Amino acid sequence: MIYVKTSKEEDFVKWYHEVIEATKLVDFSAVKGCVVYHEYCLMIWSRIKSYLDNKLMPLGFQEYYFPALIPLKSFKKQTKHFEDFFKEVLVVSKTGHSRLEEEYVIRPTSEAIIYESIAKWVKGEKHLPLCINQYCSVMRWESFKPNMPLLRGNEFLWQESHSVHSTKKEAEEYVKKVLDIYRDLHENFLAMPVIIGFKPEHRMFPGAEYTLALESLMPDFKSVQTATSHYLGQNFSKAFSIKFRNKSGKDEFAYQACNGITTRVIGALAMLHGDNKGLVIPPRVAPYQVVFVDFNEKDILESVKNNKIRFFVDDSKKPVKEKIDYWTMMGAPIIAAKDSKGFALIRRDTLEKTTVNKSSLVKEIQKALNSIQDNLYRKAKEFHSSHISKAGSWQEFEKIASGRKGFIGALWCGGTGCARQIREKASKNSIRVVNPAKTGKCVHCCKKAAYSAVFAPAY
């Protein structure tokens, strides 16, 4: 059975839609730009969540849940750039026909509601650092109808963490520590290479002193921003009055960091590793690492379980070939079935089939899972590394941009107007991340360069 008809190389966007539809990761709902997350997608998200929990808890993060409604007056305290953000925010002002006593916004991000509580909880230095982790959904209403499921949407699931510190140094360390957890998640768990850098000022989280981001290059040479880590300085602690009594007995505003990663990373995962048969899921994040087709060798299943390999036994009444096609489309790293010579293992990344005997089956599965994880990262890294070009002049920049071949590294003056002109002139190449530069001239306007920037069209 063929589930995905369009080839990835021929029409990438159509291919992506067919994969999402066939695998039922999500589907569109009756609400504009909001999707229904199906079980398999949520199983992938659960894997990501447990990875994050294992890394965040040793840093002192604890899980909380705050209300989805935020008093509008709290939200307005949030930032001097409040208006920029407000156009995407849904406001609740009525119940039935009656006006509410006060207006609320539906959580587009949780700083305001969390920091109102933190201001009550933090009294002295002994309460710090205070580290909060939350999994929830957020709503950001786009003016257009988002049509790339998981990549863009009016509501999405995310992890957000917020930490409050008594020193600038410690807060900045946490910005880097959580960013490093995200990097490790991408590279070693999702087999997804990333570039890391600062967001230019016009792309920063409103109210942040600086924002660091992870970006990954997709096979259609567009970049996806999958996670961010922000240093907030004392901007929010001053707005929300988060103070502590310091060692010299004086009240001091706290230093803060916040971080987030969304379910769009699952869309990026599908895009990056998927092929013309459907999803290809790296073993560490796969809901089922092995799917056994028509298999009732209880001793083997027991041993697989004891070796902590996640598995599923498909004993449905469908023909074997149909089951193999289905689990291939779902991206199961290994499909195992009995064959005339022993047991056949089909690895999803290469579609290679090997026959192994019963005594070595579990060992061979473990070996293959490690090899698939490594192979997917190696392939993705090769693609990533071979699509980073440097442009020393505007002529070179335009030439690379017109070929649409990935990330372009170039010097930039730091001017927002200049960045806008680059984007307009050069096939929507926008600045993804920047790092400070000491010498050289802007690739576009030839003014003194402030940054070494990485450009790409983006989702």
Q: Which tokens belong to 51?
A: 């990875």
Cβ of residue 223: shortest distance to Zn ion, in angstroms?
A: 20
Judged by CB under 5 A, how many residues of this single chain contact Zn ion?
6
Triad 325, 326, 331: Cα angle to 5°:
95
Tell how strand 69-71 and strand 430-436 pair up.
Answer: unpaired
Closest to Zn ion by CB, 386 vs 416, is 416
Closest to Zn ion by CB, 368 vs 442, is 442
Maximal C-alpha separation, the chain = 79
Show contacts with Zn ion in window 407-426 (CB under 5 A): 413, 415, 418
Residue 92 binding Zn ion, by CB under 5 A: no
Triad 176, 177, 180: Cα angle to 5°:
85
Closest to Zn ion by CB, 257 vs 400, is 400
Cβ of residue 429: shortest distance to Zn ion, in angstroms?
A: 14
Cβ of residue 449: shortest distance to Zn ion, in angstroms?
A: 8
> Terminal CA-to-CA distance of the chain, rounded, Å?
31
CA gap 65, 329 in Å, rounded: 36
Closest to Zn ion by CB, 242 vs 422, is 422
CA gap 167, 255 in Å, rounded: 6
Closest to Zn ion by CB, 82 vs 394, is 394
Name all contacts of 64-67 with Cβ < 8 Å and 24+ positions apart.
64/114, 64/132, 64/133, 64/134, 65/134, 65/136, 66/107, 66/110, 66/113, 66/114, 66/117, 66/134, 66/136, 67/107, 67/113
CA gap 429, 420 in Å, rounded: 9
Cβ of residue 201: shortest distance to Zn ion, in angstroms?
A: 14
Cβ of residue 208: shortest distance to Zn ion, in angstroms?
A: 23
Cβ of residue 396: shortest distance to Zn ion, in angstroms?
A: 15
C-alpha separations of 205 from 210, 229, 230 in Å: 8, 9, 7
Cβ of residue 452: shortest distance to Zn ion, in angstroms?
A: 13
Backbone angles phi, psi at 169, to 5 degrees: -60, -45
Cβ of residue 210: shortest distance to Zn ion, in angstroms?
A: 20
Show contacts with Zn ion in window 107-146 (CB under 5 A): none
Closest to Zn ion by CB, 335 vs 450, is 450
Show contacts with Zn ion in window 431-450 (CB under 5 A): 442, 444-445
Q: Which tokens belong to 278?
A: 């459907």
Cβ of residue 428: shortest distance to Zn ion, in angstroms?
A: 17
List residues binding Zn ion (CB under 5 A).
413, 415, 418, 442, 444-445
